[in-house]
Structure 1
Amino acid sequence: MSSNDIKELAELLRRLRQEDKNLRVFGADSHQYKLGQTLAEAELQSFEQKHKIKLPEDYRLFLKEIGNGGAGPFYGLELLEKAAQYRDLSKPFPFTKATDSYSDEELEEWGDRDEYPGVLELCHQGCAIYSYLVVNGPAHGTIWNGREDFYPTELSFGRWYRRWVEKALRTLENEPLVDKLALGMSKEQILVAAGGDWQERKALRNSIYFFEAPEIPAQLELNEDRIVIKINLWPFILAQP
């Protein structure tokens, strides 16, 4: 991530803060788009020396130019020191693939999942699920999701954060499209009225189908003739990176 990239990211975040005045994005009522104070180069070096690591360059630049903790995906970013407090960063995070692909015997060698080393507990997603940033080990610089098991996202911090901002902005911009949806519409009429990448899935109840598009904040219920019989508005916007 270059200095220009970080400036673009800061501008996107400013736009999101401006657009989401009603805090519709999931977790925004917790962080309210506020950011912690940036960290000086000396503070970053001190942290790295203390934990015997090198922070991923994009995350390091974020801390230095945008802020330390606050506005971010889900319930927001943790402060650097808090993100590090329960983990031994001086030892490598050992995994390169999802932990559920390893045997129980292999996992036992690496100890308790609550103490896996080499990762920052970057943000809380809810339901005891966290986003982790690998700061030591072969997966250095990538984001993982974890609770019972840990799963790689294949995303760097900068890409992960930007995807959140961009998805949130697009979904907020699409909210007016919901007003174009109405009971009695067919699937074809929905696509003409709102566009979007709609997908159908069977509901648990017989003869009911859900019709959803990832960045249009409404869930439609269709009958067996694929006609809209109910419109469920999203209670919040979940802009998952």
Structure 2
Amino acid sequence: MKIGYGMSLYEQVNRIKEKILLAKEKDSSFDVFGSTKHKYEWNIPISSEEVRDFENRNNITLPEAFKLFITEIGNGGAGPYYGIYKVATDSHDGYLSKPCKLHPHLSNEEWGHLTSFEDDDNLTDEQYDSHYNALFQGMLRIGTQGCTYDMMLVVSGEYKGRVVYIDGDLQKPFFTYENNFLDWYERWLDEIIQGYEIDWFGMLMGGDDAELMNKFHTSNDEEYKVNAIWGMNKLPHLLPETIRFLEEQCHNPSHAIKSVSLQLLTKNCYTKAKSFLQQWLESDNEDDTLKALKYIYWYVEEDVQDFVKPIKTVLSTTKNPENFRFITYILEKSSEEDASLYVPFFTHPNKEIRTCAIHTVGKSKEKEKYLQDLIQCLQDDEVSVKRMAIQALRDVTNPILLPCYEKILDEYKTNEHYILSNVMHRLEEFGVQAKSILEKAKQHPDKEIKDSAYRMLKEIE
């Protein structure tokens, strides 16, 4: 055993060296997100002397587990997402030695306070950068998940050693569940080897069915219990006893626990979830109804027809635009194409429901049956509804539409909200029939519309 490290960490290092080979064998075609970048290869480790130089230069002591990784396994290379960055041992960052401000139980209010500088328009670029760097002080950037998402290692403060996911656009950070880097890293290898869903590795609680159920039963914290159940979402298959557990939890007094249990039960065993889904569809609580609609749309395939009748009943009473939207998705998925169901909603008080109804009819092969209804929608006071009506009339070249489009061109002087450009797309479908309107549009005050008219007339000729 080397001085300064526990034997358990060295045993873990040896396991990791063995598991990287198994992971590469399991993912030989590099299907795991980011694996084409690192290909399960590590960089050459660095020496303890180089680590000490880096620590002295930055006035920190690296977490033991991470230090062991870069000196015994590799200074970066294979790892979650696009891999682990090299530690630039000659670099200096004055923010590393300052205590990390973040913690695992960070509230939305606290995060809002920490990021309030975002709303200060009086800050110079230098002042903004100073606030931004201070926000993530005490953390070493160890990798990227792509886009604005990075992986950080806490190197100073109470939570030293924890891996944290941050977003450069300042969404609230996420502390992963493991207490140190090697536990987090080994879990990544285990989940690849076991064939788990790993695209968003680390966001779900670790463990298999039995471990997660045990975590659930040994905690009194509702949020922790919900996370334990949701951790099962990464598993490729659930054991029969896990299905029974989820079925039991659908009766749990906690609404949050019932909800996540029903979601996973629907995903993994529709026959056991069916009766619960029917109950939630009939609920007076529109949020419960929405959850049932989402679970049906996301997970129910061959049996979606079971819900067509009750969903049509919900359609007739819902006032929630999101519920309405998912109803259209499910009915479309069930091949129940009946555009007449949605036409009455063209005049619904809620503009989002009107827009969704028009959009759905616009996808129907029978939409010309409802041409007069769609023409009425072209006169809607809400610009978003009017724009959707124009888009819904795609490929409909009935001449009675031409005066409607001409009126809109006269009414709108600019292409604000893209009303006019959508009208021009519809006129283009008419070809020579729209020639007189296009001649008039050559004098339109909006340059984009004027140019489109010239181009379309040239194509007609």
TM-score, normalised with respect to structure 1 = 0.70
Q: Structure 1 CA distance, aligned partners of 2:296 and 2:99?
A: 51
Unaligned runs of 5+ in 2: 1-7, 118-129, 197-235, 240-263, 268-290, 308-332, 334-461
Q: C-alpha root-mean-square deviation of aligned residues, in Å? A: 3.3
Q: Structure 2 CA distance, aligned partners of 1:206 and 1:153?
A: 26
Q: Deviations over 1:195-238 (max 9, x none)?
A: 42654366977953416xxxxxxxx7752449xx9xxxxxxxxx
Q: Structure 2 CA distance, aligned partners of 1:126 and 1:199?
A: 32
Q: Give the secondary structure class of the aligned counterpart of 2:165.
A: strand
Match in the other structure for 2:176: 153
* Corresponding residue to 2:186 among 155, 162, 170: 162
Q: Give the secondary structure class of the aligned counterpart of 1:138.
A: coil
Q: Deviations over 1:161-204 (max 9, x none)?
A: 111111111117xxxxxxxxxxxxxxxxxxxxx84265436697
Contact 2:58 2:92 in 1 (8 A): no
Q: Give the secondary structure class of the aligned counterpart of 2:266.
A: strand
Match in the other structure for 2:163: 143
* Corresponding residue to 1:208 among 280, 297, 309: 297
Contact 2:45 2:74 in 1 (8 A): yes
Match in the other structure for 1:2: 9
Matched, 1:132 2:117: no
Q: Structure 1 CA distance, aligned partners of 2:183 and 2:106?
A: 20
How far does residue 61 in structure 1 lie from its aligned partner after superposition? 0.6
Higher helix share: 2
Matched, 1:100 2:166: no
* Higher RCO (CA-CA < 8 Å; seq separation 6+): 1
Match in the other structure for 1:63: 70
Q: Give the secondary structure class of the aligned counterpart of 1:132.
A: strand
Identity, in percent, stands at 26
- The code of the aligned residue for 2:110 comes to Y
Q: Give the secondary structure class of the aligned counterpart of 2:176.
A: strand
Match in the other structure for 2:238: 196
- Greater shift, 141-150 or 200-209, is seen at 200-209
Q: Structure 1 CA distance, aligned partners of 2:107 and 2:96?
A: 19
Match in the other structure for 1:51: 58
Q: Structure 2 CA distance, aligned partners of 1:67 and 1:221?
A: 48
Contact 2:154 2:163 in 1 (8 A): yes
Q: Deviations over 1:73-121 (max 9, x none)?
A: 0010011128x77772121212223363406445458922685211111
Note the 1:111-126 alignment, pairs <5 A: 111-112=131-132, 116-126=136-146
Matched, 1:38 2:40: no
Distance 1:210 1:139, change over 3 A: same
Q: Structure 1 CA distance, aligned partners of 2:11 and 2:32?
A: 26
Contact 1:75 1:125 in 2 (8 A): yes
How far does residue 151 in structure 1 lie from its aligned partner after superposition? 2.1
Contact 1:48 1:54 in 2 (8 A): yes
Distance 1:88 1:195, change over 3 A: closer
Q: How many residues align?
A: 199
- The code of the aligned residue for 1:81 comes to A
Distance 1:65 1:130, change over 3 A: same
Higher strand share: 1
Structure of larger gyration radius: 2
Match in the other structure for 1:18: 25
- The code of the aligned residue for 1:27 comes to G
Q: Give the secondary structure class of the aligned counterpart of 1:102.
A: helix
Match in the other structure for 2:304: 223
Unaligned runs of 5+ in 1: 173-193, 212-219, 230-241
Distance 1:28 1:195, change over 3 A: closer
Q: Structure 2 CA distance, aligned partners of 1:81 and 1:204?
A: 50
Distance 1:103 1:35, change over 3 A: closer
Q: Give the secondary structure class of the aligned counterpart of 1:21.
A: coil
Contact 1:9 1:162 in 2 (8 A): yes
Q: Structure 1 CA distance, aligned partners of 2:299 and 2:110?
A: 35
